[in-house]
Chain A
């Protein structure tokens, strides 16, 4: 069965420090991987995606994510966190194989960046 895990419900980091939000997945074939962010009282926004090619993907607001096939992970990273990065982050995966192309979502990780 396809699944996505975000092992940390909450991540706390000091402003200016690097941040990592973890995501691991399980699909039967090769994945398309996505990160979305939900700021307080705002809608979900697309951050970045991995489709193919370079394992390091760069996205909006200085975020990047690294696809690791052997570890089936797609961790979100940022070299220097801002207070304004505080939000709810969702990882999602879609199996590119087969007819079922439903997008599977993680439960979300709440990121708090402390000044």
Chain B
């Protein structure tokens, strides 16, 4: 079974631009979560989607948004990029949101904002 894939793997953007990151979950997985990872802050939860609905949301500004499609693929968008948005963005999928299911992570998208 193919793992979680994320595209692009690396991205360099300028302040003020917007960016869209893509995540394809493991086949059959219906839940997709997004995280921001930075050296000092660890893993910061952005949001979780299940069956095209946002189930949970972290404490990020409205510039961060996401969506999930009917095939469970997910995208996240960051508008008006700031230098502080530079981070590794991780996507994770699981069979179902919540409960006992563990998450499977993609390799991440390394975003650099200059």
A residues whose Cβ falls under 8 Å from a Cβ of B? 32, 34, 36, 42-46, 49, 51, 90, 94, 96, 100-103, 105-108
Inter-chain contacts of B103 with A (CB < 8 A): 36, 46, 103
Contacting residue for A107 out of B42, B100, B107, CB 8 A: B42
Structural contact, B105 and A45, CB atoms closer than 8 A: yes
Closest CB in chain A relative to B29 CB, distance in Å: 13
Closest CB in chain B relative to A29 CB, distance in Å: 13
Beyond A43-B90, A96-B99, A103-B33, 20 additional contacts (C-beta under 8 Å) are: A32-B100, A34-B102, A43-B4, A43-B105, A46-B102, A49-B100, A49-B102, A90-B42, A94-B99, A100-B56, A101-B55, A101-B56, A101-B98, A101-B99, A102-B45, A102-B58, A103-B45, A105-B45, A106-B42, A107-B41
Residue tally, chain B, CB below 8 Å to A: 23
